[in-house]
Amino acid sequence: MTPVSTAFRRFHWLNGLWPWLCAASVALSLLMLGALLSLLLVRGLGHFWPATLEEITLRSGDTFAGHAVREVALPQQAGDERLYFTGNRDIEGARWRWVAIDEIAERTQPVDLIRLERSPWGDFIGRLVALEQPDQRFEGDAAWQRLTALLALPANQRQDSQLQLATADGQTVRQPLANVISAQAPNAMSWWQKTGAWSEAVWLFLSEGPRAANTSGGVWPAIFGTVLMVILMSVIVTPFGVLAAIYLNEIAHQGRLTRFVRVGVRNLAGVPSIVYGVFGLGVFVYGIGGSLDTWFFSDTLPSPTFGTGGLLWASLTLALLTLPVVIVATEEGLARIPDAQREGAVALGATRLEMLTRIVLPTAAPAMLTGVILAVARAAGEVAPLMLVGVAKLAPQMPLDDEFPYLHLERKFMHLGYHLFDTAFHGEDVQAAIPLVYATALLLVLIVLGLNLTAIFLRHYLRRQRGNEC
């Protein structure tokens, strides 16, 4: 067998294997994506399901109540340990308890165990003994029914009510009802009741603001701030990116300087995002914002108006960060348009402007939207530059309200990415924040997916319209 035939056989074998390698890569990518989404779904949405409460009696005689979180194996075959969430931080000084499984003498699930969410001490797990009002006292089932009825009222209408509670080990606690946010008796709930409670908890997570240093409550301000910032960024970056791409591909002389600019634009796409944050802080916040304060808001100085981080500077910084992506994608779309279409339009009497606006730009519109899709995907998940130019842990006011001028670009805002980072690493109770981290991460993925799908559907619509016109 000659060397040529041997090389040909090897090439033919690799040529047959190549499609299988590509298919395996796609399958592996889909499996990894599915595993990520499954993890976020189970850990994030499972947090809102009413967990069954247990009453634990240890061999030492100690008794406590809580719900099991996870188990870990101890080293050197010493058995397993189970982590319980016990609440009652004002009574026991901690909300978590590790217990060796071998030390558990008895586990029960009494139907009278309840879980209260309180402010400021967090959850209470125990029993409801009585509900006291100035003129009457309720006990047993009547106390629970009265409690659920009063929780539907505003806090200022139940200030005279007080709960008498008991922990699993018999300690008595008095709790003002005005500081109780919600109450559940999960062991007495049916599956349908738990499903309803889960749906309500998910809705509250999406519609309320955060509480207890971001370890409870919702993320609505962060959702609103993320979507609003991405929309403003897209409105800013799209015209600048498209005009820059048109100039580089359609107007500028294709010489060394143009090639140098094109290489520079592509290199800017690889600059670390924190560098853009430093640039935005120095140029936008301190430079332009400080000048605006001096010219138009001198009466409020030294308190800055635009000379501090805000929605406008964050949107501009991320627009600058994603500008190379839009330019490159748009220019690639312009380069794929045959020159014959341009020459034909000019030959039929169209001006250069008419040729660009009626022939070139509509044909390149899907490529422009591809650039916007990539820009949205990157901008929605960026955190580092936002920490310097406007994001806040807790924003006292929303950037959009019913006060003139309605959209307040100078205000700080909350962002899902920063909220996730702050909850995971800066919370007072990291263990309690872990489920919220998964839920927030899932929400951020879904928002980015929703924004991308909107742009993708618009791109397909423009392609179909363009095909019908042709």
Half-sphere exposure of 316 (CA within 13 A, CB side): 20
Nearest-CA neighbor of 361 among 230, 237, 239, 233? 239
For the residues 54-65, what does the mean pLDDT come to?
Answer: 92
Q: Please say if the pLDDT value at position 420 is more than 60.
A: yes
In a domain, 197, yes or no: no
Co-location of 179 and 227 in the same domain? no
For the residues 164-182, what does the mean pLDDT come to?
Answer: 91
Co-location of 161 and 103 in the same domain? no
pTM: 0.85
Q: What is the DSSP string of 365-414?
A: HHHHHHHHHHHHHHHHH--TTHHHHTB-SS-SS-SB-SSTTSB-TTS-B-
CB burial class (10 A; 0-12, 13-18, 19+) of residue 94?
exposed
Q: Is residue 12 very low, low, confident or very high in pLDDT (cuts 50, 70, 90)?
A: low
Q: What backbone phi and psi angles, to 5 degrees, belong to 183?
A: -145, 140
Co-location of 393 and 420 in the same domain? yes
Q: For residue 468, what pLDDT is reported? A: 61
Q: Is 302 helix (H, G, I), strand (E, B) or coil?
A: coil
Q: Please say if the pLDDT value at position 429 is more than 80.
A: no
- Count up the domains in the chain and report the number: 3
Co-location of 78 and 131 in the same domain? no
For the residues 381-402, what does the mean pLDDT come to?
Answer: 84
Co-location of 152 and 78 in the same domain? no
Cβ atoms of 238 and 372 within 8 Å: the answer is yes
Task: Give residue for tokens 């924190």.
Answer: 274
**337-378 pLDDT tens trace:** 888 888 888 888 888 888 888 888 888 888 888 888 888 888
pLDDT top residue among 133 and 425:
133
In a domain, 279, yes or no: yes
Range of weakest confidence among 157-171, 196-210, 314-328, 398-412: 398-412
Q: Is residue 115 very low, low, confident or very high in pLDDT (cuts 50, 70, 90)?
A: very high
| b/e 394-405 (16+ beta carbons within 10 angstroms → b) | ebeebbbeeeee
In a domain, 403, yes or no: yes
**395-419 pLDDT tens trace:** 778 888 888 888 888 888 989 888 8
Q: Is residue 466 very low, low, confident or very high in pLDDT (cuts 50, 70, 90)?
A: low
Q: Is 73 helix (H, G, I), strand (E, B) or coil?
A: strand
Q: Is residue 467 very low, low, confident or very high in pLDDT (cuts 50, 70, 90)?
A: low
Q: Please say if the pLDDT value at position 314 is more than 90.
A: yes
Q: Please say if the pLDDT value at position 111 is more than 90.
A: yes
Distance CA 51, CA 20 (A): 46
Share of the chain above pLDDT 90, in %: 29
Co-location of 179 and 322 in the same domain? no
Co-location of 356 and 271 in the same domain? yes
Distance CA 93, CA 211 (A): 20
Co-location of 80 and 229 in the same domain? no
Co-location of 319 and 442 in the same domain? yes
Q: For residue 77, what pLDDT is reported? A: 61
Q: Is residue 452 very low, low, confident or very high in pLDDT (cuts 50, 70, 90)?
A: confident
Distance CA 212, CA 253 (A): 60
pLDDT top residue among 232 and 395:
232
> Virtual CA dihedral for 242, 248, 252, 258, nearest 10 degrees?
150
Half-sphere exposure of 96 (CA within 13 A, CB side): 11
Q: Please say if the pLDDT value at position 53 is more than 90.
A: yes
In a domain, 270, yes or no: yes
Co-location of 121 and 179 in the same domain? yes
According to the per-residue pLDDT averaged within each range, which of 133-142, 400-409, 423-432 is highest? 133-142
DSSP state of 75: S
Q: What is the mean pLDDT of the chain?
A: 86
Nearest-CA neighbor of 325 among 420, 216, 440, 455? 455
Domain of residue 77: give its range.
54-108
Q: Is 451 helix (H, G, I), strand (E, B) or coil?
A: helix
**270-294 pLDDT tens trace:** 888 899 999 999 999 999 988 888 8
**151-165 pLDDT tens trace:** 988 878 888 889 999
Co-location of 119 and 236 in the same domain? no
Distance CA 38, CA 33 (A): 9
In a domain, 422, yes or no: yes
Q: CATH number for the domain including 320?
A: 1.10.3720.10
In a domain, 199, yes or no: no
In a domain, 257, yes or no: yes
Co-location of 155 and 286 in the same domain? no
In a domain, 308, yes or no: yes
Q: Please say if the pLDDT value at position 101 is more than 80.
A: yes
Sheet holding 96-100, edge to edge: 96-100, 80-85, 63-73, 54-58, 104-108
Which of these three, 89, 108, 127, is where a domain ends? 108
Q: For residue 425, what pLDDT is reported? A: 79
Q: Is 168 helix (H, G, I), strand (E, B) or coil?
A: coil
Q: For residue 469, what pLDDT is reported? A: 60
